[in-house]
Structure 1
Amino acid sequence: MTTEETTPASGDAAPEAAEHQPATPPQGFVILETPEGSKDGVVRCPKCGASEVAFSESTSQLFCTFCRNRWAPDSLDQIMGLSEGIGELKGTVVTTAAVDITSSETIVTFKCSGCGAEVVVDTAHNLQARCHWCKHTLSVNNKIDNGAVPDGILPFTVTKQQAMALISEFAGKRKAYQHPEFRASFKPENIMGVYMPYMTVDGNVHVLLEGEGEILRRTERVSDKETRYHADVYAVKRDLDAEIDDLIVETSADKINIHSTESTNNIINAILPFDVKNIVRFDAGYLGSEYSSEKRDLNVEHVQGYAAQHFLTIARNAVKESTKQYDRGIRWEYEELNVKGSRWTSVLLPVWLYGFVETRGGRQITHYIAVNGRTGAVMGSIPINRAKALLVSWGTAIGISIITWPIAIALLLLA
């Protein structure tokens, strides 16, 4: 048995317990104009004017397949100064593509500047289409009201071959208990490159933390079964201003639900972080024919609470250095967050995904293995062979019992 004894230090009193205060929502709504990207419609090479533009993973640049010219825009952070002025933010500032979604319409029609034909782009599935007459590629590069076009995009640098190798290695280390159907159907070449919708959030916040901290003074061994810990308890308070840069928040409703019973898409959170400082102005040329993208379906108001929780987590971590003397830990009993200002930018981040659908107990569960399209970080969910796992568990338990029971009986007889 372990008992604990705590003694208040002289002159210090434990703070009164208080209810957790909800985050104060930012006031105001200001739009920060995102510079225009490539014009909608035909995107031409700036050197020769050809419309055969593709994306190179090895250089993270766009290139002309006709004259081989390569180019890359400046980072969105540099263009818009998104790392500056965080301490002066007031209210809610949103970039052009981060404003509320106001339309569910996914069909956009362009007049091809090459031949004059009208070309339809279904933005629910792609942001590019090829003119059926002159074969020019037309792109949607600027904000539309259904949330399909972001402010920026972080291009893939991990190639499909590299992602296939990483996923094969991940699955190979877990062969022992793999579901037989998964093992039989596993084909890493079925991996897909997907740009996932996120927002980067800057926050100018004020945080108040109050709680109890304990400092261990001595340990007393009473008996073989009892140890007493003597500690001083202090009232601890931290009041701080924080400037938070580039918090990443998911803006897809089905991905933000980490408790889903239908899929394991929450593993995407395990392959963070992304080097968001290298995000560039969105251009549909980065999608090409190999990658797909998901459009966001959540507005800023839907994810403000999620961001506030992370602001508090960051604040708690920020005060660790000044509270390390409390070697028995701190229990924060009162937390208050005031978001004085925030800035929201809509972006697409690169993820390689491999999926497998398992049927279990009459319902289907989709398992995912994900690879960070920039760093190569891998995490996934692999369905297990439950019968084999149960057999091994029982076998191990029986084996241990065969060894330990005779020893236990012998000790009882000798006692």
Structure 2
Amino acid sequence: MAEEITTPEGRGDGITRCPKCGASDVVQLKDQHQFMCEFCRHKWGFERLDEAMGLSEGIADLAGVSYSTAASDIVSDEALVTLKCDGCGSEVVVDTDRTLQARCHWCKHVLSLNNKIPNGAVPDGILPFSVTREQAMGHIQRFVDERKSFALPAFSSTFAPENIMGVYLPYMTVDGNISARLDGVGEILRRRISSKNSATRYQFDRYGVRREMDIEIDDLIVESNFEKADIRSATSTNNVINAILPFDVKNIVRFDAHFLGDQYTSQRRDMDIAEAESVAASHFLTVARGVATPTVSQYGRGVRWDSEQCRIDGVRWTSVLLPVWLYGFVSDQKGYPVTHYIAVNGRTGATMGSVPINTRKAALAASSVAVAISVVTWPLAGAILAAS
């Protein structure tokens, strides 16, 4: 049975107004966890989503599916609209109360309201950037410097870290009340028998292993955009986004479009709960395996889990935006354009990316190394054979 949890006030148009005068002309104060009303100068702090909605409470009592208003099936918005980029086809969220144009965070194309398409729901929460643009540029520069020896000349000649863009990517957080059962085989080594004339033999005991557990999972994050969730994409290196996890999700605050401002854009959510739940279930099993690992340390040769079962008693979903600095480069691979991304976690500075490789140069370097190794190892191998 599904139950809707009302998102805190302000979710209707994505803007939290001044609590003193009701004005929406609000700015975020730099280096301060505060908003200030430009009309009456009133200041107030950010409210954490976890506290506003009690998301750390009652996980053990969850039953069925609970979801926030903002995590419900996608409908059209009023103030926030999505613009489709003419340049690359990506979709960018724009707060039309504040601006009528934006730049695509993937190809830098300028967008207008003529590209408007239906939008997903306004999220419940947002995790503000704490890594500055200058810091992110430094992270990306160092990442590229370590790999530029084998980069494509076109990438090296056009690389400009100042072209990075801050983008809020859509995720859903899910709390889970689950029960898991793992069945498998564990092995304990008893004896190792070595011989000069035959291969080493091992004697070990084999045991049936079962682990059953009840687990409360708090704030698991799941991608909620189909394009970026496709980590096996043949046209872009989306998988780098997962490599910059985790985010400090407990510091997510209630969503306010003022966080986007003029500096940041956002990717829209186009995935509903029904389409994300299989990914969440897979992550739940991963958590269960992690919980079981310390309990099977006596099996020195490891445990092979042959059967994994997960019963989901209850889940609670919310919709959030998480901060990422992105740099993109499009290269031609076998006649097809492939977008290479370098991503920086907007909270921790963790950096990962894909630099297009000059395959001829890399192959030449590999051949040179192989020849150098052969020059050293072949005489040694000959000497060893002669001695034996």
* Structure 1 and Structure 2 fold alike (TM over 0.5): yes
Residues 1:304 and 1:409: Cα distance change in structure 2 (over 3 Å): same
Residues 84 and 161 of structure 1: CA distance in aligned 2, closer, same or farther (over 3 Å): same
CA distance in 2, matches of 1:68, 1:380: 42
Q: TM-score, normalised by structure 2?
A: 0.87
Task: Provide Cα deviations, 1:97-148, integer angstroms capped at 9, x if missing partner.
Answer: 11112x4x56x37xxxxxxxxxxx634430243489xxxxxxxxxxxx8424
User: Residue deviations 1:53-88, cap 9 Å, x none?
Assistant: 223452243334567654323211111110010000
Q: 2:378 corresponds to which residue? A: 405
1:131-142 → structure 2 map (5 Å cutoff): none
Aligned to 1:126: 94
Aligned length: 362
Report the TM-score when normalising by structure 1: 0.81
The alpha carbon displacement at 1:353 in A equals 0.5
Q: Distance in 2 between matches of 1:99 and 1:293?
A: 19
CA distance in 1 between partners of 2:349 and 2:327 (Å): 14
Which structure has the greater CA radius of gyration? Answer: 1
Choose the corresponding residue for 1:74, options 41, 47, 51. 47
Structure 2: how far apart are the matches of 1:129 and 1:41?
Answer: 10
2:182–2:211 Cα contact (<8 Å) kept: yes
Map 1:35-114 onto structure 2 (within 5 A): 35-37=8-10, 40=13, 44-46=17-19, 51-64=24-37, 69-101=42-74, 103=75, 105=76, 108=78
2:361 equivalent in structure 1: 388
AA aligned to 1:85 is G
Partner of residue 333 from structure 1, selected from 306, 314, 322: 306
Q: Secondary structure at the match of 1:258?
A: coil
Match of 1:173 in 2: 146
Asked whether the equivalents of residues 250 and 256 of structure 1 are also in contact (C-alpha less than 8 Å), the reply is: yes
CA contact (8 A) 1:207 1:335 kept: yes
Instruction: Give runs of aligned pairs for residues 226-305 of structure 1, distance below 5 A.
Output: 226-305=199-278
- Report SS of the residue matched to 2:150: coil
CA distance in 2, matches of 1:307, 1:37: 28
What CA RMSD, in Å, does the superposition of the two structures yield over aligned residues? 2.3
Aligned counterpart, 2:335:
362
Instruction: Structure 1: give runs of 5+ residues left out of the alignment.
Output: 1-27, 110-120, 133-144
Unaligned runs of 5+ in 2: 84-92, 101-117
- Structure 2 match to 1:213: 186
CA shift in 2, pair 1:364/1:222, >3 Å: same
Give yes or no for contact 2:56–2:218 (8 Å, CA) kept in 1. Answer: yes
Deviates more, 1:202-211 or 1:40-49: 40-49
* Residue 291 of structure 2, aligned match among 305, 310, 318: 318
Query: In the TM superposition, what is the alpha-carbon distance from 1:43 to its structure 2 partner?
Result: 6.1
Residue identity in the other structure for 1:156? F
- Give me the whole-angstrom Cα distance separating, in 1, the residues matched to 2:14 and 2:39: 19
Q: Corresponding residue for 1:10?
A: none
Aligned mates of 1:334, 1:43 — CA distance in 2: 48
The reply to whether residue 200 of structure 1 matches residue 173 of structure 2 is yes
CA contact (8 A) 1:60 1:155 kept: no
Percent identity of paired positions between Structure 1 and Structure 2: 54
